[in-house]
């Protein structure tokens, strides 16, 4: 397994400015183009732009097992690396809650913080006959051949979004719904645009460009209120489906670093959250403000993991 990890790192590491050395590495646990990749690249760029790090941040794409390959790599090989940050989200804690990382647990790393909420969204190809979430629910109820693609593995956060929507719409056998988990939102949207799946379940940041280009139709956004800049997309609640699913975007670091090093990363991440550059990045990518940084965020993550275990058992994802 170690060879696999190193091969992934070697093949995916992205070198900037030729042979320049990098003091900080950010691992994106998926292929380029998805939400974790976005998190690493945007936060990494802004860290350098606002002077929180003195060299450009290296981004390494380490796809596999819905984030499990990267998690295992950090826990097993980089446990005390204070120059390593890793992109994380609700998908990370969901997988951990469901024991999807081969027995690894959320307390084996330290969660630094979240600095944005990525609204959940469900989209279909531009020529799809489906126009609303209720159209989608009815198609499933009628036994039509409906399938979904998402950037998380089966039972992951993207999958849970669909199950919650269908459950709210009165679908009884939600475990029979066809779901294809791929490595990242970019691969998932390709499945739907290419006609291989009926719909894509993901996050707004992953599909902004596809919405703006008209390649997909958004059936609904899973937020309390419509997303600024995308006011033409109705919420699930507006359509009578009481579902809110917002994917936080943030970082974790190795557990073995010191409290001082952890707090330093918390301060750097807070500086990114407070910057004008990050406000612009959020607005351009359909992100909503959601800032929890430091020890308070770690406590919040612990609570979320416990709640996800309960929900996953309720819908039959885990026993």
DSSP state of 227: P
Model-level pTM? Answer: 0.75
Separation of alpha carbons 163 and 171, rounded Å: 9
Among the candidates 176, 205, 239, a domain finishes at 239
Q: Which domain holds residue 170?
A: 119-239
Could you tell me if 36 and 114 lie in one domain? yes
Token readout for 152 is: 């998380």
Do 222 and 131 sit in the same domain of this protein?
A: yes
- For the domain that residue 39 is a member of, what is the CATH number? 3.40.190.150
Q: Are residues 231 and 263 in the same domain?
A: no
Domain membership of residue 56 (yes or no) is yes
β-strands 25-28, 84-89 pairing: parallel
Nearest residue to 185 (alpha-carbon basis) of 229, 237, 120:
120
Total domains, the chain:
2
| Residue-level pLDDT at 1 | 37
CATH of the domain at 211: 3.40.190.10
The reported pLDDT for the residue numbered 6 is: 37
Q: State both tokens at 193.
A: 């645009």
Task: Render 121-155 in DSSP notation, one character per residue.
Answer: EEEEETT-S--SHHHHHHHHHTT---EEEESS-TT
Instruction: Find residue 60's DSSP bridge partners.
Output: 13, 27
Which tens digit of pLDDT belongs to each residue from 170-219? 998 888 899 999 888 889 999 999 999 999 999 888 888 999 999 999 99
Residues 126 and 235 in one domain: yes
Q: What is the tens place of the pLDDT at every residue in 73-101?
A: 999 999 999 999 999 999 899 989 999 89
CA distances in angstroms from 211 to 87, 202, 205, 219, listed in the order given: 24, 13, 10, 11
Domain boundary at 204, 222, 239, which?
A: 239
Q: Are residues 196 and 126 in the same domain?
A: yes
């Amino acid at each position: 397994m170690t060879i696999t990890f190193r091969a992934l790192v070697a093949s995916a590491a992205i070198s900037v400015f030729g042979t320049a050395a990098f003091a900080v590495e950010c691992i994106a646990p998926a292929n380029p183009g998805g939400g974790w990749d976005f998190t690493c690249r945007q936060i990494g760029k802004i860290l350098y732009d606002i002077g929180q790090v003195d060299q450009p941040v290296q981004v390494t794409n380490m796809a596999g097992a819905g984030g499990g390959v990267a998690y295992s790599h950090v826990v097993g090989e980089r446990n005390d690396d204070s120059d390593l940050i890793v992109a994380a989200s609700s998908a990370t804690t969901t997988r951990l809650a469901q024991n999807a990382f081969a027995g690894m647990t959320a307390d084996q790393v330290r969660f630094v913080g979240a600095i944005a909420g990525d609204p959940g969204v469900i989209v279909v190809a531009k020529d799809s006959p489906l126009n609303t979430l209720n159209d989608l629910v009815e198609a499933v109820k009628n036994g039509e051949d409906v399938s979904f693609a998402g950037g998380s593995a089966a039972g992951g956060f993207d999958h849970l979004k669909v199950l919650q929507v269908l459950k709210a719409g009165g679908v009884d056998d939600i475990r029979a719904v066809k779901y294809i988990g791929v490595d990242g939102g970019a691969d998932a949207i390709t499945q739907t645009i290419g006609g291989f799946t009926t719909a894509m379940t993901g996050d707004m940041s992953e599909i902004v460009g596809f919405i703006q280009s008209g390649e997909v139709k958004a059936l609904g956004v899973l937020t309390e209120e419509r997303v600024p800049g995308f006011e033409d997309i109705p919420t699930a609640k507006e359509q009578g489906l009481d579902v809110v699913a917002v994917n936080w975007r943030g970082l974790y670091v190795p557990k073995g670093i010191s409290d001082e090093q952890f707090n330093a990363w918390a301060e750097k991440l807070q500086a990114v959250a407070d910057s004008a550059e990050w406000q612009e990045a959020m607005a351009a990518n359909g992100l909503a403000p959601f800032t929890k940084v430091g020890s308070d965020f770690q406590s919040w993550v612990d609570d979320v993991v416990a709640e996800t275990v309960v929900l996953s058992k309720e819908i039959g994802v885990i026993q």
